[in-house]
Structure 1
């Protein structure tokens, strides 16, 4: 068995934090102070025209047409599309078109290219703080002038409101917010007499490994848990469970001991016990019964429920020292694009 010396640099690299910082800097365009839109800057940008719309249904002709680029596919896109249809059928002045551009990374790429081509949508929806690069590029306009008694920041969870503000103005309102959950094969747990519908700890799950691995699927011992290469978001909850924190203000890793305990735990679970592993497609392995538990977003619940042929269990993220632990928030929020048309901005705000 190999042993590994965990350094701060190795940890940041393993979790993608160092690389992510560099990537963020690389994907952010040149910024100057006068690009940022504020109450003292025009909310219009004459060179930014609307991107091409698809065919407009005849029943909606003659309206103000607005375009939303959605960073979703599958069930979530279908659900939001139904809301757009409801809006279009509820009034006769605005036609709101919705187009899927893929995922969040696809939207970032598409919107960056659209700004360069000066052919943009009227509304976008970026995750968490990703909107900031487009705020600094002057691509977004404040929402505050459109607020009224029915629609304003008071109607949202206040924890999310501040994440969408810059310079005391609102550029993002929350939508499709999420947090990580622990998903497990409830049928398997019940068959083995393991606890269900409870608050798990990481140590408890590790102890269950011997019983879970007694079951075979496709000629392999079933693993307890699958890590994946995209776990940086969930890793905040792991560390909080072990009573650690990534930062205190601008000080990175003020106490490294909980992080060492967390990474030692994961290393031994994978390389000593052999009941956890790094998966290429964790949710696929979960759906096919190769692993008993994974974690995922709250947004994963519908897809997993439809994909598995066993009873799906969902629980809070496992705790350890702290149980249940804190969890990070995710999801996205709507932003209004700075275009040449006041009419379309007003119509988009109506939506």
Structure 2
């Protein structure tokens, strides 16, 4: 909550300050989510896979004072280009304690249309500035080249750079908070608590799943079209629950489309986690531990797992329809807990 408040107080755009299209998180040194703020549930599963790309690219080159950024769904497991992820490693006396994380939807990211959310792009190259995992602060020194490139590629540079710096500030606030705990209780105790929290979350999740009926339930829904082809786009969600594990299988969902409503796999996974989390006990900690019993199957090349260079800018439309399909299947599995499939995601309007 403190990091979220930092973003709201220091950001410049109404997208972040008022619409609150951002999230904050804390991850352990291995990239497991141990805490997430209160903002967008569909960001829930996005921090671990994006940080994993940073850990892979910068293995052996992560130091105190570093800050990393990325937004690309293909090079960095991002969600779409306006969403810039920030990660800051947290060190206590050269011991890596974890990572503070933030994601913020930027007002503009360049590309052919202001705002970066055009639904009629046909490839990701049209959608704006692609940022692979990059180090934007190197051991405390700002990499000005990154901000120079960002500045000349967006239409409202002061706003965008201000919002990026707001998410960096939130990570710094998270760093201070974790270091205060580590200095009080010791680094070893904090590391043990993180591991225990992950295991505890998993145990609670498995206990709840074990009480649900075993079986298979599915629900299909459709998007009208992608703006180019008149053909409806099928979203098929099949839930398979066995014992204390659960699978959400999108096999049978339509292939990726020409228009930019394709949903990157990290966002598809986040939709699954958010929907399942919504039917669990309110006291279940939102961590990678609760995600361990969940398996997501999405065929590469489908609209819920597109391959490069499929456009993804307006993927929010599809994410809403995907969540409705998941809830539709959950309503058949748990009719006493879940309302019927709704109607969100029928259309999108961008005002730029």
Q: TM-score, normalised to structure 2's length?
A: 0.29
Q: TM-score, normalised to structure 1's length?
A: 0.29
Bigger relative contact order, structure 1 or 2 (CA pairs below 8 A, ≥6 apart) = 1
Larger radius of gyration: 1
